[in-house]
Amino acid sequence: MSMAADVAAIADVLDRARVARVAIPRITIDHPELGIADGYRVQKELVRRRLAEGHSIIGYKMGLTSPQKMKQMGVESPIYGVLFESTRVEDGGRVAVADHIHPMVEPEVAFVLARALHGPRCSVESVLAATARLAAAIEIIDSRYERYQFDLPSVIADNTSAGRFVVGAGVAPASVELASLGVVLERNGEAATAGTSAAVLGNPALSVAMLADLLAEGGAELPAGSIVMSGGITAAVAVSPGDHVVCRIDRLGTAAVRFD
């Protein structure tokens, strides 16, 4: 794909699906020639449109960083997307299932950066040195594709299924052994899924370093103040109206959301 018109046309299709809350077949069925770089071109066009509408970028998300997520989605490479301030839900807040297509929740470690981070060759040490807070977080994903059936170019174009996100109060990173924290995602008081932070690339800070390196390929950095969702630790869990979801991570605390 090389023509700007195609990027705009595919962005239109994804935007219509999001606004109408109707899932569509993955875009590579009509455009089998699309590659990963094309997926990021479409994502960039969607981000440009949101910014033109007055939304602002508050951070980034990594996705498909754990074996469980890769297996659930049948896709095997980390990807990144953009987080808008308008999609942030306060800790303990409410989200309407009806505002989404088929939302699912994921337990994640969120990083809040005190200082900018840039690649290439960003290290775990530089990520931790730049981090103000580490927090338990919940990502509410909502693929625009039918039955979450996608390949890498399709999911990247769809801003990596980004829906909303909730970040807990968190803690300062000093002395947190980030590679071995127990994680439980509760739904209505019962464990729906559990895992450890090591599931994310051995250490979620490595996911943030990888993000800084990926952004550096396009000449961008992670600005101070950014929130980074480092990727789902377990497979995602479907939610229904009435559900109360809590993510508990050793040392980092909790994040919670209620679905109406």
Binding stretches for Mg ion (CB under 5 A): 106, 139, 232
* Positions 145 through 174 that interact with ligand OOG (CB under 6 A): 148, 155, 160-161
Q: Is 139 in the site for ligand OOG (CB under 6 A)?
A: yes
CA–CA dist 78, 158 (Å, integer): 14
Q: Is 84 in the site for ligand OOG (CB under 6 A)?
A: no
- Written as six digits, the tokens of 19 are 């606004």
CA–CA dist 246, 252 (Å, integer): 13
**Number of residue whose CB is nearest ligand OOG:** 63
- 161, 100 contact by CB (below 8 A): no
Q: Is 63 in the site for ligand OOG (CB under 6 A)?
A: yes
Residue 69 touches which of Mg ion, ligand OOG, none (CB < 5 to 8 A by kind)?
A: ligand OOG
Sign of CA dihedral 145, 150, 154, 159: positive
Residue 143 touches which of ligand OOG, Mg ion, none (CB < 5 to 8 A by kind)?
A: ligand OOG
Q: Is 232 in the site for ligand OOG (CB under 6 A)?
A: yes
Region binding ligand OOG by CB under 6 A among candidate stretches 1-9, 119-127, 136-144, 212-220: 136-144
CB of 72 to ligand OOG, least distance (A): 7
* Total residues binding ligand OOG (CB under 6 A): 16
Cβ proximity to Mg ion, 78 vs 232, nearer residue: 232
Q: Is 28 in the site for ligand OOG (CB under 6 A)?
A: no
Residue 64 touches which of Mg ion, ligand OOG, none (CB < 5 to 8 A by kind)?
A: ligand OOG
Spatial neighbors of 32 by CB under 8 A, at least 6 apart, are: none
Q: Could you list the residues that contact ligand OOG (CB under 6 A)?
A: 61, 63-65, 69, 73, 106, 139, 141, 143, 148, 155, 160-161, 231-232
